[in-house]
Amino acid sequence: MKFVDEYRDAELARGLGAQIAALAEPGRHYKVMEVCGGHTHTIYKHGIEAHLPESVELVHGPGCPVCVIPMGRVDDGIAIAKRPNVIFTCFGDMMRVPGGDGSLLEAKAEGADVRFVYSPLDALKIARENPDREVVFYAIGFETTAPSTALTLMRAKQEGLKNFSVMCNHVTIVPPLKALLESPDLRLDAFIGPGHVSTVVGCRPYEFIPRDYGQPVVVAGFEPLDLLQSIFMIMRQLSEGRAEVENQYGRVVFWEGNPRALDVLQEVFELRPHFEWRGLGFISQSALSLSDAYADWDAELRYDVPGVRVADPKACQCGEVLKGVIKPWECKVFGTACTPETPIGTCMVSSEGACAAYYNFGRFAKPKARAGA
Amino acid sequence: MADLEEEVLARIERQRKLRPRFRDDRITMAHGAGGKATHTLVAGLFERAFANEALAELADAARLEVAGLNLAMTTDAFVVRPLRFPGGSIGELAVNGTVNDLSMAGARPVAITASFVLEEGLDADVLRAEAAAMSEAARAADVAVVAGDTKVVERGKADGMYISTSGLGVVDPRAQLSGRSIRPGDRVLCSGYVGDHGTAIMLARGDLDLDADVVSDTAPLWPLAKALLEAVAPALRVMRDPTRGGVATVLNELAADGDVGVVLEEDKVPVRSAVKGACEILGIDPMYVANEGKLLAIVAPDATDAALAALRSASGGEHAALVGEVADQPAGMVLVRTGFGGTRIMDMLIGDPLPRIC
């Protein structure tokens, strides 16, 4: 496949792996967090760890939009979905996320009209085609997907489409990173910065990480060679004693981001004073809600939702996994009570979730690699 | 720490090998997707309820000895949406799907039956076209449609039409096929490009706003099965057609049946670049996408070249390839060697990326 295969070349990967190994100081252990769930998926899908020396450990971060949705917000969505006249739309991953009492998929089997869409614009199309029904889009994601939700809302407003609304769960990337860096139970050496989020926000928002915490950040693309190259760039910074924000994904990410997209976000959204993140707890100013100008399209204002905070199941350790404090397999229920077909926690649901990625792809890669070594 | 990790993984593998129980409260679309939920439903509910020897193989078709004859019998239902798609239609799919289930059991298809569940208001020309498509497909596959049934349900109760079939075949005396006969060292062959059917349907639905030149691969597989039986019969362990759940799910079933590991070379599996591109955009792995005219065969190592040559010389097998190997470990699992030089697990399909494809 053109423009993709070039980034999956095993020969180049071996070369980069050797260069990374050469930069690693003997006896030192490196912990590098990939913030973004898309990176986690690539790491496991292509088996990137096979090219890394054992002293370089990848720690999975909180950047999986499905994984960070707390149970209470799932329940709120289900409550709306179960209303008689509602067509409830969301991304496919979201449907299997367990709430306090079942998932959207189960609500669908019980009769709720839940449909998965690839884009919020598809939800808008459904609203146009079903003028006598109320269509709700359950919006999730970081700054990556927020602009498309914003554009959809702007279009709904232009068209005066009254049977459409959005339940907004958009979150922002910087506050959870700050929370992680302040967390006492995690010591990291560097960050692989999220690629697609950065196409919108640019590289500048991460400058506080090297400045205040002395750790390198390299914004990376999503192909396996992108990731290896970004790890190489991190190792080069560490070996030279530098800590800076660098951009590996220059073919897509501009330093200042996408000003047009940022303007759209500014118009449609405002910061919530605080928002609950699964496993991380409440983080202030870490999520978006619709601005007053779009209040008429705000599902949370339109419908009565329980809005109750639901505690995570006791056995579930998604929080620690999301913070990178434990590896997926160290969770007590991993792979036994909690599997992709019957997930307890969100990390086991999304293909970007650390647990699902490890369960589906990673389980055998490491022992196998060790046995072969 | 590494030892602890392996201990956890070993515990999970033990648990995975237990016979599944069907515990769900309701049927969801995932139960029809051909992956893990389907497997749990079939093995956990139906197999327990109907327990008998012929069923226990859970193969594409049951083998029966009746009055000294070795017969194969199968049944299949078709609920595809849309009814017509690039490269085929529900009627053609119904005939080919049924004869393929027989063919994979090493049986020459002889006769099929068809039941039609029609929705009130269906355009009669649509039905005429499907009858013609079935007749044409039956002629091409050299089977007769020998009996049928018709039911009509109220408007809104069926998407135009559903077709349910059964098929009868005569088992080729050379066929000694069973997943249990798979041995470490055996080779895995694939008869051609995978992922075409599922991708064609996905694009034909038009809700993805994606265009690509992909047509369904629906075709009868008996010519390929026959070629393999003629060329390497004693060395042919098993054949399967990777329909719902795709190559990944079939290989997992075979790994479990043979209690062996299967190592797939990702780069060697033929996938058209249009299919690869569409799947890449949608975040779907082509190994999980349905096929309707492809087979996977496992053969003893010394028969590999002869089997490949036989496939390639038969109609529909021109792009056949050696795609993997059977190992003793990890038993019951499928590993993929990625083109990037890594290794990962390939599990059965979980959930349902794409409902109603056949």
pLDDT tens-digit readout, A126-155: 999 999 999 999 999 999 999 999 999 999
- CB under 8 Å to B192, separation ≥6 — which residues? B217, B270, B293, B294, B316, B317, B318, B319, B320
User: To the nearest whole angstrom, how far is the Cα of B276 from the nearest Cα of chain A?
Assistant: 7
Name the helix (H) or strand (E) containing A245: strand A245-247
**Superfamily the domain B59-173 falls into:** PurM-like, N-terminal domain (3.30.1330.10)
Biggest CA–CA distance in chain A, Å, is: 68
* Region A85-96 average pLDDT: 91
What does residue B156 show for φ and ψ, rounded to 5 degrees? 90, -5
Distance CA B90, CA B164 (A): 11
Distance CA B219, CA A56 (A): 50
User: What local confidence, expressed as pLDDT, does residue B336 receive?
Assistant: 92
User: To the nearest whole angstrom, how far is the Cα of A72 from the nearest Cα of chain B?
Assistant: 22
Tokens at residue B292, please? Answer: 């309707």
- Per the CB < 8 A criterion, the answer to whether B43 and B88 are in contact is no
Interface list for B 79-118 with A (CB within 8 A): none
User: What local confidence, expressed as pLDDT, does residue A1 receive?
Assistant: 64
Beta bridge partners of residue A56, listed in sequence order: A30
Q: CB A206: neighbour CB atoms within 10 A?
A: 26
B331 vs A contacts (CB less than 8 Å)? none
What is the complex's ipTM, to 2 decimals?
0.75
CB contact under 8 A, A335 and B276: no
Q: How far is CA B11 from the centre of its chain?
A: 30
Q: Is B18 an 8 Å CB contact of chain A?
A: no
Q: Is B31 an 8 Å CB contact of chain A?
A: no
User: What local confidence, expressed as pLDDT, does residue A65 receive?
Assistant: 86
Give the closest of B207, B339, B344 to A362, CB-based: B344
| Three-state DSSP state, B299 | strand
Sheet holding A56-63, edge to edge: A56-63, A30-36, A190-193, A217-219, A245-247
- Per the CB < 8 A criterion, the answer to whether B201 and B357 are in contact is yes
Asked whether the predicted pLDDT for residue A159 surpasses 70, the reply is yes
Residue with tokens 């980034």: A7
Tokens at residue A59, please? Answer: 């720690």
B29 vs A contacts (CB less than 8 Å)? 105, 108
Q: Which of A173, A212, A180 is nearest to A194 (CA)?
A: A173
Tokens at residue A357, please? Answer: 């990625």
Distance CA A157, CA A259 (A): 22
Q: Is A130 an 8 Å CB contact of chain B?
A: no
User: To the nearest whole angstrom, how far is the Cα of B234 from the nearest Cα of chain A?
Assistant: 33
**Superfamily the domain B179-345 falls into:** PurM-like C-terminal domain (3.90.650.10)
B5 vs A contacts (CB less than 8 Å)? 327, 329, 366-367
Q: How far is CA B333 from the centre of its chain?
A: 18
* Region A191-219 average pLDDT: 96
Residues forming CATH 3.90.650.10 domain(s) in chain B: 179-345
Looking at A66-193, which runs of residues are DSSP E strands?
A: 86-90, 113-116, 134-141, 164-170, 190-193
Looking at chain B, which runs of residues are DSSP E strands?
A: 62-66, 69-78, 84-85, 88-89, 107-119, 144-153, 161-171, 187-190, 236-240, 261-265, 296-299, 321-327, 334-337, 343-345
Q: Is A352 an 8 Å CB contact of chain B?
A: no
Helix axes A365-372, B2-17, angle to 10 degrees: 120
B104 class by beta-carbon count within 10 Å (0-12 exposed, 13-18 middle, 19+ buried):
buried
Q: Which residues of chain B have pLDDT under 50?
A: none
Q: Which of A91, A88, A99, A64 is nearest to A309 (CA)?
A: A99
* Region A157-184 average pLDDT: 93
Q: Which of A299, A344, A300, A297 is nearest to A321 (CA)?
A: A344
At A72, the pLDDT band (50, 70, 90 cuts) reads very high
Distance CA B180, CA B192 (A): 25
Asked whether the predicted pLDDT for residue A370 surpasses 90, the reply is no
User: What local confidence, expressed as pLDDT, does residue B86 receive?
Assistant: 94
Q: Is A105 an 8 Å CB contact of chain B?
A: yes
Give the closest of B29, B330, B345 to A360, CB-based: B345
Q: CB B1: neighbour CB atoms within 10 A?
A: 7
Name the helix (H) or strand (E) containing B50: helix B47-50
CB contact under 8 A, B5 and A92: no
Domains of chain A: residue spans and CATH: 71-172+257-302 (3.40.50.11740)
CB contact under 8 A, B8 and A122: no
User: What local confidence, expressed as pLDDT, does residue B308 receive?
Assistant: 98
* Region A14-26 average pLDDT: 95
**Which residue out of B208, B209, B340, B352 would a mutagenesis test of the A interface target, given it has the greatest number of A Cβ atoms within 10 Å?**
B340
Asked whether the predicted pLDDT for residue A362 surpasses 90, the reply is no
Residues forming CATH 3.30.1330.10 domain(s) in chain B: 59-173
